[in-house]
């Protein structure tokens, strides 16, 4: 069985029944928890910024984030979004897109300082690149996988085409950042190509390769976790309900292990595609 199979049931009636079941069984409590956690997080951030900076542009942006989240929560309750799976799907799709863009703009300015320590370098790579908020919105704004991929893949493609140059310009401002970039590139090359790429590119190119691989993993890892959880629920639901459902083999540990190996191979292929002008040194 291939990963990301059975994203929907062929029978529309069966799919609609499962969507209602999944929303009631899983999304309802996650939605309420997510609303509370988001409001707490942006409120704490606003208080922190006011204490640190007083009234300035950053504090005003933090206040806008509180207003944005609070207004969406009011609309959620006013429109009874949680009571209708179709309405919830549309609402959450819009929230995922708008929330990801707003969070990227908001967080990108927070973590743009020079990377002089390993922690600062990692924070810069994940925060300024936009991958962190993509993972957070995947968890905090859950969707059926077919809708998740509809939003997640284009968002990662957009970020991957616009962000790496800006991230790397900041990452390579310091000698320490250049050193971290070279070490991480070497580790990725050893892991994904066995150290077989003959020669290391300049620091700027190394950094773009690292950011690109972060985006690859930002698509594969959270999407697979969502799919595995949803597929298991679909298989269990089919066994319980039976009628109108296709055959759903169980997702065993052996299958998951095979999928993980396939994920590593996909990452290795992406790594090699980033080096079209390099020759593999296979020692022959």
The pLDDT, as a whole number, for residue 242 is: 63
Evaluate whether residue 279 is within a structural domain: no
Nearest to 171 by CA among 210, 201, 223: 210
Burial label for 78, CB within 10 Å (0-12, 13-18, 19+), is: exposed
The pLDDT, as a whole number, for residue 146 is: 94
The pLDDT, as a whole number, for residue 59 is: 84
Q: How far is the C-alpha of 61 from the C-alpha of 251, rounded, in Å?
A: 44
Evaluate whether residue 95 is within a structural domain: yes
Evaluate whether residue 49 is within a structural domain: no
Write out the residue range of the structural domain in which residue 222 sits: 12-20+85-273
Q: How far is the C-alpha of 157 from the C-alpha of 246, rounded, in Å?
A: 33
Q: How far is the C-alpha of 40 from the C-alpha of 144, rounded, in Å?
A: 25
pLDDT in tens, 60-108: 888 888 998 899 999 999 999 988 888 999 999 998 888 777 777 666 5
Q: Is the pLDDT of residue 244 over 70?
A: no
The pLDDT, as a whole number, for residue 284 is: 45
Tokens at 227, concatenated: 């799919």
Tokens at 185, concatenated: 């590139």
Residue of 149 and 14 predicted with greater confidence: 149
Global pTM reads 0.86
Burial label for 125, CB within 10 Å (0-12, 13-18, 19+), is: buried
The pLDDT, as a whole number, for residue 108 is: 59
Helix 145-162 to helix 131-140 angle (10° resolution) is 170
Evaluate whether residue 41 is within a structural domain: no
Evaluate whether residue 39 is within a structural domain: no
Evaluate whether residue 160 is within a structural domain: yes
pLDDT in tens, 191-240: 888 776 667 889 999 999 999 999 888 888 999 999 999 999 988 888 77
The pLDDT, as a whole number, for residue 144 is: 94
Q: How many domains does the chain have?
A: 1
pLDDT in tens, 118-173: 988 988 888 888 788 788 888 888 999 999 999 998 888 888 888 888 889 889 99
Evaluate whether residue 25 is within a structural domain: no
Residue of 248 and 150 predicted with greater confidence: 150
Tokens at 257, concatenated: 């292990």
Q: How far is the C-alpha of 71 from the C-alpha of 162, rounded, in Å?
A: 29
Evaluate whether residue 98 is within a structural domain: yes
Q: How far is the C-alpha of 233 from the C-alpha of 19, rounded, in Å?
A: 11
């Amino acid at each position: 069985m291939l990963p990301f199979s059975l994203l929907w049931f062929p029978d529309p009636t069966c799919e609609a029944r499962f969507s209602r079941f999944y929303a009631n069984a899983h999304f309802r409590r996650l939605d309420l928890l997510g609303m509370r956690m988001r409001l707490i997080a942006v409120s704490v951030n606003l208080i922190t910024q006011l204490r640190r900076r007083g009234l300035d542009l950053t504090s005003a942006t933090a206040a806008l984030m509180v207003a944005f989240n609070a207004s969406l929560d009011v609309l959620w309750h006013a429109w009874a979004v949680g009571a209708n799976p179709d309405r919830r799907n549309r609402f959450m799709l819009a929230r995922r897109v708008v929330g990801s863009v707003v969070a990227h703009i908001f967080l990108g300015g927070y973590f743009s300082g020079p990377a002089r320590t390993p922690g600062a370098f990692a924070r810069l790579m994940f925060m300024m690149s936009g991958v962190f908020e993509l993972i957070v919105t995947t968890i905090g704004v859950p969707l059926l996988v077919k809708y998740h991929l509809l939003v997640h893949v284009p968002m990662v493609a957009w970020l991957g085409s616009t962000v790496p140059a800006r991230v790397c310009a900041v990452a390579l401002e310091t000698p320490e950042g250049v050193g971290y970039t070279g070490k991480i590139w070497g580790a990725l090359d050893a892991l994904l190509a066995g150290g077989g790429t003959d020669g290391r590119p300049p620091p700027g190119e190394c950094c773009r390769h690292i950011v690109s691989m972060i985006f690859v993993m930002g698509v594969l890892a959270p999407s697979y976790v969502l799919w595995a959880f949803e597929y298991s629920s679909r298989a269990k639901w089919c066994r319980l309900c039976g009628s109108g459902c296709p055959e759903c083999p169980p997702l065993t540990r052996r299958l998951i292990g095979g999928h993980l190996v396939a994920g590593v191979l996909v990452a290795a292929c992406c790594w090699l595609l980033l080096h079209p002008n390099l020759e593999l040194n296979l020692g022959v």
